[in-house]
Chain A
Amino acid sequence: MDIYLPIAEVAVNVPLIVGLGALVGFISGMFGIGGGFLMTPILVFLGIPPAVAVSSMANHVAASSTSSVIAYSRRRAVDFRMGGVLAAGGVVGAFLGVELFRLLRLLGQADLVVSAAYLVFLSVIGGLMLVESVRTILRRRRGGPTPPRRDRRPVWLYGLPLKMRFPRSRLYISVIPPLALGAFVGVLSAIMGVGGGFILVPAMVYVLRMPAGMVVGTSLMQIIVTAGLTGVLQAGRNQTVDIVLAALLLLGGIVGAQFGARASSRFRAEELRAILAVIVLVVGLRMGLGLFLTPDEPFVLMSGLGG
């Protein structure tokens, strides 16, 4: 059963797209991530024009994050003040990112920058996560004591001006690092078609030193605002949002996420992180492979903005 996507202007198989949404939803529910980094490359592989895949993912990410943030806020696991500061940065980042993406498309370098961004960010994050989680697993197997968490906060975080209190996270820090982090993730989300949770979450844990319980819920809040704005800007500036595609993905994603969340309770946190690290690494390397392999066809037709 095929359906013709009005904006992407290609026909796609409905069960395949819904199934893909369910699979990515399962993974995102299991690991507490958006899953955009996985979905966008698969969509491109299935023949959706990259610009449409990246833009439509913003709507998908906003929808799936909304469905999870409500659960977190009920558990009082969202620091709204920190989320607001991150989102303010994200708004700036989204504007910059959409314009940058437009410029890159005009220069014909969009697909290249997307591959490079995937290669760099996913392999670095995936590599770090893998090392960290494998170490934890090995340490637990040997029965060694868990080393005390280094709670020494980076000095530069405290030396900066414009300090603000974040009571829920029990922090008193400058607003500059969270603003910059939000802006950076906003740019990435516009270019890579991801929510950015895979960068936001580690940065909030290791750089901002937020309590672990607050991190995921707060990052989701930032992601909703950023992805919401990115989706509107992509539609307004580039006319590349295919709502039919986003709705199909969402249909599977909602169900998959529920099953994923249930499955996650069967694994230990570090085992989950190790599995996720491997997935992230594989996707990053696969996306970057095109930069190194000799292409079969040296010429590429560029879609959109026909001159």
Chain B
Amino acid sequence: MIDASPPLPPPPPFPPPPAVIAAALTDTIVQVKSDFRGARIVLYGAIFDPAARPGDVVVLVRGPEQPVRITRKEKVAGLWLNSRPVVFRGAPGFYRAASNRPLDDIAHFGTLRRLGAGVDHLSINAPAEQRVETRYGVRDVVVSRLGADYYVWRRAVVRLKENAGLYREDGHGVRFVDQGLFRAEIDLPAGAPTGVYRADILLFQNGVPVSTRTRTLTVEKVGFERALYVWAHDRPWSYGLASMAFALLAGWAASAAFRRD
């Protein structure tokens, strides 16, 4: 009998290198000119994972923050009147959540909430309506004056923004075009606010974000539109006087042109 040495255990597997995501935008500057009717930005990217583990891609695009004032119509003595307006803070002026499958299938509630992924998880609130009080002996409980209606108001903010084409959640907005290669389209409506937009591209594996890339996009008015806008907001009185002088001059010119006697 040959004394055979016991077979060596297989070498412990190297942990595969972590997966990495890369992405870029076709345009990083969107110019708002007189013919601006919205724009389509294409985002494309790739996943590098030697182990080829299954992953999900989530793209979150946020526009500059704009406080939202919202009012509710209430029936008072047979008339529909506006309630006191409520101001929500933290609302981006533009929001897109695109993913290769619905967000709820990709990660848990808590993860989505922490990342602000999905219109239901945007961290918007109405600080002016909040007060901190002690309830049942618990200190520093945040209570909203809107009470149980708070979620109705919050949902209304999202719904109205969605109707304006400013917010959208698309569970099939990211498409894999080849092994590890993906693309997403971001449609900016004509009413998209100007400013700096931030696009976060996240790679999820097993419901956990493992890699992130951030890209920025600038939406800016250019040329004549920008000149007028800046003038009207920076020196409103001179703009007001000049535009009125222009109007009066135009009226006078019209009467001279059509003088019939």
Contact = CB atoms under 8 A, between A and B. Distances in A.
B80 A109 contact: no
A297 B161 CA distance: 13
Contacts of A290: 80
A63 B243 CA distance: 11
B227 to A, nearest CB: 8
A284 interface: no
Given A299-B156, A307-B67, A70 B252 contact: yes
A241 B82 CA distance: 25
Interface in B229-258: 229, 232-233, 236-237, 239-241, 243-244, 246-248, 250-252, 254-258
30 contacts: A2-B37, A3-B35, A10-B190, A59-B247, A63-B251, A64-B251, A65-B251, A67-B251, A70-B252, A74-B261, A107-B85, A108-B83, A112-B81, A224-B248, A228-B248, A235-B237, A235-B239, A235-B240, A241-B239, A243-B246, A254-B257, A290-B80, A291-B79, A291-B81, A295-B73, A298-B72, A298-B156, A299-B157, A300-B71, A300-B72
B166 to A, nearest CB: 10
Given A59-B244, A305-B69, A292 B78 contact: yes
B237 A301 contact: no
A67 B252 contact: yes
Interface in A199-232: 224, 228, 231-232
Interface residues of A, number: 58
Interface string A93-134: 000000000000001110110000000000000000000000
Contacts of A250: 247, 250-251, 254
A299 B71 contact: yes
B71 A4 contact: no
A70 B255 CA distance: 7
A169 interface: no
B228 A231 contact: no
Interface of A: 2-4, 6-7, 9-11, 59-60, 62-68, 70-71, 74, 107-109, 111-112, 224, 228, 231-237, 239, 241, 243-244, 246-247, 250, 254, 258, 290-295, 297-302, 305-307
A10 B191 contact: yes
A112 B241 CA distance: 29
A11 B37 contact: yes
Given A4-B190, A4-B225, A109-B82, A236 B240 contact: yes
Given A6-B228, A301-B164, 16 more contacts: A2-B35, A3-B35, A7-B228, A59-B243, A59-B244, A68-B255, A107-B84, A108-B82, A108-B83, A224-B248, A231-B247, A235-B236, A241-B243, A254-B250, A291-B79, A307-B67
Contacts of B248: 62-63, 66, 224, 228
Given A3-B35, A4-B36, A246-B243, A306 B252 contact: no
Interface string B9-52: 00000000000000000000000111111000000000000000
A239 B67 CA distance: 18
A164 B33 CA distance: 55
A106 B125 CA distance: 20
Contacts of B159: 297, 299
